[in-house]
Every structure is written in C-alpha cells, then in structure tokens.
Structure 1
Amino acid sequence: MIAETVCSAVSAAGLGIAVVTAYRKRFLAAARIAAYSLVPVGLVMTGVVGWLADTAFSPTAWAGFGVLGAAWALFATTRAVEHRRGGTRGTRAERKAAARGAERDAVAPAGSAPSLSPAARPASRPAAAPRGTGSGDDFSDIEAILKKHGI
C-alpha cells in the first residue's frame, strides 16, 4: 500500500514538472519527462510493485537468490578449473599436435593461384631505380611512386 502511494506521488510530481517544462516551450523535453513519470503508475497498475514488495520482504525469495548465487559460483569455479587444466579434449600434447596439424592443412591444397586474363592483368610496371647509399637515393622510391600517379 505504501509502495503504491509513493509511486503515485512520484508520477504526479513528474507530470507537474512536465507541465512546467511545456509552459517554457520545451515540448520535446516535456514529453520525455511525462513518459518517465508515467512509468511508476504503469508498474503499480500491472502489479509489479506489489510483487517486488512481497519479494523484497520474503525470506523464501532471499533464500532463492542465495541458491542462484551458489549455482553461479559453482559454474564459475568449474569453468575456471577446466580452463586451468586446459579443457576436456585430451592431454596438452594431443591438443598441440592437433593445432599444428590444423595450421599445416590448406583449405584447398590442390588449388592454384587465380589466373588473370590478359585484359585484367596490370600494366607492366617501370623498373625501380637502383638503390644507392647516398641520402638522395632515399627518396627515389617515393619519387617513382609520385611520378607513377602523375603527381
């Protein structure tokens, strides 16, 4: 009974704030405030507030939460132990051998590189300038790229 009264008062106050906000010509904000202020009344009308109040003061419900916590702790503990042991797929050496075998296997071992038709082949590239040891040769590759793109 008290929870329903509090929720109704909160909704009434929120609607009052929405009216003041709308009076100040901020209609979008007023509509948003009105929507938020109607939520507590909706929860009271659906019975959620009564259910929550009954649950909050019920020792059986808190015992149920304790059981759920214990189940979660068991799941987390068993997962941590399994992870530390390396899983349930055999010994560590067997898993490493399987991983090495998977790395070596190709998706299509008999496949070849795709061939390009003469029209799809890129034009022949100009030969790169030979590299020297001088500081002027450091930028020769960059100059070649810029010339290639017409810059």
Structure 2
Amino acid sequence: MLAETICSAVSAAGLGIAAIAAYRKRFLTAARIAAYALVPLGLVLTGVVEWAAGTVFSPLAWVGVGVLGAAWGLFMTTRAVERRRLGKAAAATDGARPGAVAPSAAAPALGKAGRPAAAQPRPKAKGKQQAAEPGEDFSDIEAILKKHGI
C-alpha cells in the first residue's frame, strides 16, 4: 500500500513539473517529463508494484532464489568435473586428437646447433663491415641511406 502511494505521488509531481515546462513553451520537454511521470502510475495500475513489493520483502521468495543459486552451482560444478574427466581420458588413451598439429610445427625455427637464431652469438666485425648472411638483401635500404648521405 505504501509503495502504491509513493508511486502515485511521484507521478503527480512529475505531471506538475511537466505542466510548468509546458507553460514555459517547452512542449517537447514537457511531453518527455509527462511520459516519465506516467510510468510509475502505469506500474501501480497493472499490479507490478504490488507483485514486486511482495517478492522483495518475502522470505520465501529469497529462499527460492537461494535454491536456484545452489542448483546453478551444482550444475556448473558437475560440468567442470565432466570436462576434466573427458580431457584426462582423451590424453590417456592415445595422446593425439584427429586433426591436431604436430608439436614440432609450433616450435620456433632453430638455427645452427639446435638453438634459436636470435640466441646465436654474432661474430664481431674488425674495422670492416661484414657481408650480409645469405638470404638477406639490404640493397634497397642501402640505396635510401646513400640518397640521404648517411
């Protein structure tokens, strides 16, 4: 009963503010305020406010929410356990899935002696610039640098 009275008072106040806005020749604003003001009154007339107030303050409704939460938690736990078991069973059977990529396909490219190319020590130049390794072509970069006098 109190919630319905509060909603009705809010609607009346909103309609009063809308009337003041219309008096000041702001008709679009007045129409928008009137629309917002009529929403609580519509909720009271349809019975939504009574239903919501009865649900929010009902201990039985909150027990129901708790039971639904427990059911959801059990469902998610069983799904996680099932996925873990299926994953371990698939790994234990043959270790390979159809269509799986070979382990060496994801490994980085290895240079000399099985080490990654970036980790190999580079020989130091003694006064002269060493020739580029085969496969590296810096001729276009050298042309740009010569053009700018570098």
What does residue range 10-49 of structure 1 map to in structure 2 within 5 Å? 10-49=10-49
TM-score, normalised to structure 2, is 0.57
Counterpart position of 1:66? 66
**Cα distance in 1, alignment partners of residues 79 and 32 from structure 2:** 44
- In structure 1, give the amino acid aligned to 2:90: T
Residue 65 of structure 1 and its aligned partner are, at CA, apart by 1.1
Aligned residues: 111
- In structure 2, give the amino acid aligned to 1:67: V
Q: Is the 8 A contact 1:89 1:95 kept in 2?
A: no
Residues 1:132 and 2:131 are matched in the alignment: no
Residue 73 of structure 1 and its aligned partner are, at CA, apart by 2.0
**Cα distance in 2, alignment partners of residues 95 and 27 from structure 1:** 73
CA-to-partner distance for each residue in 1:15-48, whole Å, 9 max, x for gaps? 1111222233332222121111111111111111
CA RMSD of aligned residues (A): 3.3
Q: Among all aligned residue pairs of Structure 1 and Structure 2, give the percentage whose two residues are the same amino acid.
A: 60
Q: Which of 1 and 2 has greater Rg? A: 2
| Runs of at least 5 residues in structure 2 that lack an aligned partner in the other structure | 102-137, 146-150
**Cα distance in 1, alignment partners of residues 40 and 141 from structure 2:** 78
Q: Tell me, what secondary structure is at the counterpart of 2:25?
A: coil
- In structure 2, give the amino acid aligned to 1:136: A
TM-score, normalised to structure 1, is 0.57
| Runs of at least 5 residues in structure 1 that lack an aligned partner in the other structure | 102-130, 139-151
Q: Check 1:60–1:135 CA distance in 2 against 1; reply closer, same or farther (3 A cut).
A: same
Counterpart position of 1:3? 3
